[in-house]
């Protein structure tokens, strides 16, 4: 089955790969925002994950350790954010933006000696004969482990937020930190843990860019993926499965427009490049009209600092 020279199975398979970084980062940010913290430093954390993951993978020769290193590197950066906003009560928006700038600069510094080096290859999960099934095999059984991990994590975050006590506590902290505090929950500690989780996920996403998707290190490699992740969180109205849809939509349209061009389709590329952003705006308008902020589903305490003395 071909659509204007594009094999849909191949297209879906490549959009799944293209979406992984933004999906992971958006998922992490979703948990952070659910806990009531707005961390705009996703881009900075992603690129720290990209360089730390790259360095670890190159030095150890193991892509698995690379992903761990990437997650840890970005976590370390998010710890700065946690310290500034949760302990020193700094403004979250300004701190987040600064974190991005700092991350971009620091990653460039760390990456000085790593330009032009090839990282060890991340193997594809061997599904044996399953991968040879036509269409389905190409779409479902021909990926590296992180693609499956990212989907599993979406399910995991969804389940934890919806069904578990932990999820309830995180949501409570994000909706009303005063009430959560009155009930005896350690608001600051919970938020710091959420920020660290967000950092780890952004780091994984960043490491995926430098280890699998591009496999190399260049300055500024994430090229704005962190900002798209932030947009996806809003697009998904803070619901995990919609993150999956949002990421596939963004990743899919990027891949689709390039594929359409390569296949020689006569479609103006400018419109396709804009479309994910247009859709986001459209969704935001639809969601925010009518029933007001409640329908937007944004955590009520989002972006507000908390101090026990208040």
Partner 1 sequence: MKRRTLLTTAALGLGLAFGGAAHAQAMDKVKACFVYVGPIGDGGWTYQHDQGRLAVEAAYGDKVETAYQENVPEGADAERVLTQMALSGCNIIFTTSFGYMDPTNNVAAKFPAVKFEHATGYKRDSENVSTFGARFYEGRAVIGTIAGRMTKTNKIGYIASFPIPEVIRGINSTFIHAKKVNPDVTISVVWAYTWFDPAKEADAAKALIEQGIDVIVQHTDSTAPLAEAAKTDGIIGFGQASDMAAYKPSPRVSSIIDNWAPYYVKRVGALLDGTYAQVDSWEGISAGEVEIGEITDAVPAEVKAEAEAIRDAIGSGTYHPFTGPLNKQDGSVWLTEGQTAPDGDLLGMNFYVEGVTGDIPQ
Closer Cβ to partner 1, 161 or 201, answer by number: 201
Residue 107: helix, strand or coil by DSSP? Answer: helix
Our measurement of the distance from residue 162's CA atom to the centroid of its chain's CA atoms, rounded to an integer in Å, reads 20
Give min distance, CB of 11 to partner 1, in A.
8
Burial call 98-128: b when 16+ CB within 10 Å, e when fewer: bbbebbbebbbebbeebeeeebbebeeeeee
| Cβ–Cβ < 8 Å for 157, 151 | no
**DSSP for residue 125:** P
How far is CA 20 from each of CA 69, 133, 146, 157, 165, rounded to the nearest angstrom? 18, 23, 8, 15, 28
> Under the phi-then-psi rule, with left for phi > 0, alpha for psi from -120 to 50, and beta for the rest, what region is 239?
beta
Residue 3: helix, strand or coil by DSSP? Answer: strand
Contact residues: partner 1, CB under 8 A = 5-7, 10, 14, 18, 21, 108, 111-112, 115-118, 209, 213-216, 218-225, 254-255, 258-259, 261-264, 266, 268-270, 273
Give min distance, CB of 286 to partner 1, in A.
28
Give min distance, CB of 141 to partner 1, in A.
18
Closer Cβ to partner 1, 197 or 250, answer by number: 250
Residue 279 CB burial class (10 angstroms; 0-12, 13-18, ≥19):
middle
Nearest to 237 by CA among 149, 296, 289: 296
Give min distance, CB of 69 to partner 1, in A.
20
**Position of tokens 């990456």?**
111
Closer Cβ to partner 1, 134 or 264, answer by number: 264
Residue 129 CB burial class (10 angstroms; 0-12, 13-18, ≥19):
exposed
Give min distance, CB of 165 to partner 1, in A.
38
Closer Cβ to partner 1, 49 or 111, answer by number: 111
d(CA 81, CA 84): 5
Closer Cβ to partner 1, 190 or 209, answer by number: 209
Closer Cβ to partner 1, 108 or 275, answer by number: 108
Give min distance, CB of 68 to partner 1, in A.
22
Give min distance, CB of 12 to partner 1, in A.
12
Closer Cβ to partner 1, 116 or 128, answer by number: 116
Q: Determine the longest span between alpha carbons in the chain, in angstroms.
A: 64
Closer Cβ to partner 1, 111 or 198, answer by number: 111
Give min distance, CB of 44 to partner 1, in A.
14
| Cβ–Cβ < 8 Å for 49, 190 | no
């Amino acid at each position: 089955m071909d659509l204007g020279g594009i094999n849909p199975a191949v297209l879906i398979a490549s959009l799944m790969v293209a979406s992984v970084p933004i999906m992971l980062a958006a998922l992490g940010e979703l948990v952070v925002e659910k806990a009531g913290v707005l961390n705009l430093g996703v881009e900075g954390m992603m690129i720290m994950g990209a360089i730390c993951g790259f360095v670890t993978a190159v030095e150890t020769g193991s892509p698995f350790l690379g992903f761990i290193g990437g997650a840890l590197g970005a976590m370390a950066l998010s710890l700065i954010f946690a310290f500034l906003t949760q302990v020193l009560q700094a403004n979250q928006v300004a701190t987040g933006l600064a974190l991005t700038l700092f991350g971009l600069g620091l990653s460039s510094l760390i990456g000085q000696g790593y330009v032009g080096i090839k990282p060890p290859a991340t193997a594809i999960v061997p599904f044996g004969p399953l991968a040879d099934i036509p269409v389905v095999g190409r779409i479902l059984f021909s990926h590296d482990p992180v693609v499956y991990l990212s989907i599993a994590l979406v399910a995991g975050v969804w389940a934890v937020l919806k069904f578990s006590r932990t999820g309830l506590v995180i949501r409570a902290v994000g909706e009303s930190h005063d009430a959560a505090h009155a009930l005896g929950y350690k608001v600051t500690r919970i938020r710091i843990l959420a920020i660290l989780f967000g950092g780890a996920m952004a780091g994984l996403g960043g490491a995926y860019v430098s280890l699998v998707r591009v496999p190399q290190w260049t300055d500024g490699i994430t090229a704005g993926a962190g900002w798209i992740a932030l947009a996806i969180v809003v697009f998904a109205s803070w619901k995990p499965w919609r993150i999956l849809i949002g990421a596939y939509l963004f990743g899919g349209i990027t891949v689709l427009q390039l594929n359409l061009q390569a296949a020689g389709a006569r479609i103006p590329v400018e419109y396709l490049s804009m479309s994910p952003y247009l859709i986001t705006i459209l969704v935001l308008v639809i969601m925010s009209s009518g029933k007001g902020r409640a329908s937007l589903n944004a955590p009520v305490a989002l972006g507000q600092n908390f101090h026990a003395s208040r």
